Amino acid sequence: MIVYALTQGKKRYVQLKQEIVGVSPKMLIQNLRNLERYGLVEREVYLSVPPRVEYSLTPLGASLMEPLAILGEWAYRHITDVKTAMEHYDRNPETSDYWQPK
Amino acid sequence: MIVYALTQGKKRYVQLKQEIVGVSPKMLIQNLRNLERYGLVEREVYLSVPPRVEYSLTPLGASLMEPLAILGEWAYRHITDVKTAMEHYDRNPETSDYWQPK
DNA sequence: CTGTATCCGTGTCGATACTG
DNA sequence: CAGTATCGACACGGATACAG
């Protein structure tokens, strides 16, 4: 989701926090740090008051955009299928023929 | 990796275990069960001695093949980039200008 | 052959409070 | 504004042993 949000260009910490709804500061930072570590995201600090930090995709990160978009498209189109599959899933030997089909 | 292995058609438990090198029975089963729960993989039991169980992709699972292949292709091409990025990564304030750029 | 059971270390994530 | 610190719950994964 971070990579996806950054496809639109540089974003500040607060912007990311607002766009990725429900994310805690901890998780956002944690994942930003990981993406940075992997060389997918770049962090730019501006020494000012108040502080400003901008995140952006590296070339490597940008190269991930398309594969990610394709996977995201799949997820978007099939999420309901997965949900209904999970609702109907039954592995209880008492109520399903999972273990001992007759 | 399971989905990828099953793109070539039905496979038995042992076949998967052999093709996915180093996987423990626990993890293989755990992930097979999850994929089943999500409706991506189908499990077929043949009551015989010795028992035979075949796993195959559902239509939903098959629809994931292409997105997954694209992502896999990206990973294969950029894995070395990520590795070198991780080697050079330095967040120590003493040795990097990460926190207080001069 | 096709799994299950158990122990155990580590990673992930939410929630909450706090800070330069 | 841009994070850090801490706690606790849970999932993941390896290792090993065992079972129908």
CA distance, residue A76 to nearest chain B CA (Å): 12
A30, A45: one domain: yes
Q: Give the residue whose CA sits closest to D14 at C1'.
A: B24
Which positions on chain D have an atom < 7 Å from some protein CB? 1-6, 12-17, 20
A44, A8: one domain: yes
Query: Backbone phi, then psi, for B89, in 5-degree steps?
Result: -65, 135
B34, B82: one domain: no
B79, B49: one domain: no
The answer to whether A3 touches A35, Cβ cutoff 8 Å, is: yes
B34, B83: one domain: no
The pLDDT tens digits for A13-40 are 999 999 999 999 999 999 999 999 999 9
Write down the residue that tokens 């730019």 correspond to: A44
Cβ atoms < 10 Å from Cβ of A86:
12
A5, A54: one domain: yes
The pLDDT tens digits for B36-94 are 999 999 999 998 889 999 999 999 999 999 999 999 999 999 999 999 999 888 776 56
How many structural domains does chain B have?
A: 2
The pTM score is 0.88
Write down the residue that tokens 């607002």 correspond to: A18
Footprint of strand D on the protein (CB under 7 A): A 12-14, 25-26, 29, 43, 50-53; B 22-27, 30-31, 34, 50-51
Per-residue pLDDT, B49: 87
A73, A102: one domain: yes
Q: Provide the residue range defining the domain that includes B72.
A: 64-102
B57, B97: one domain: no
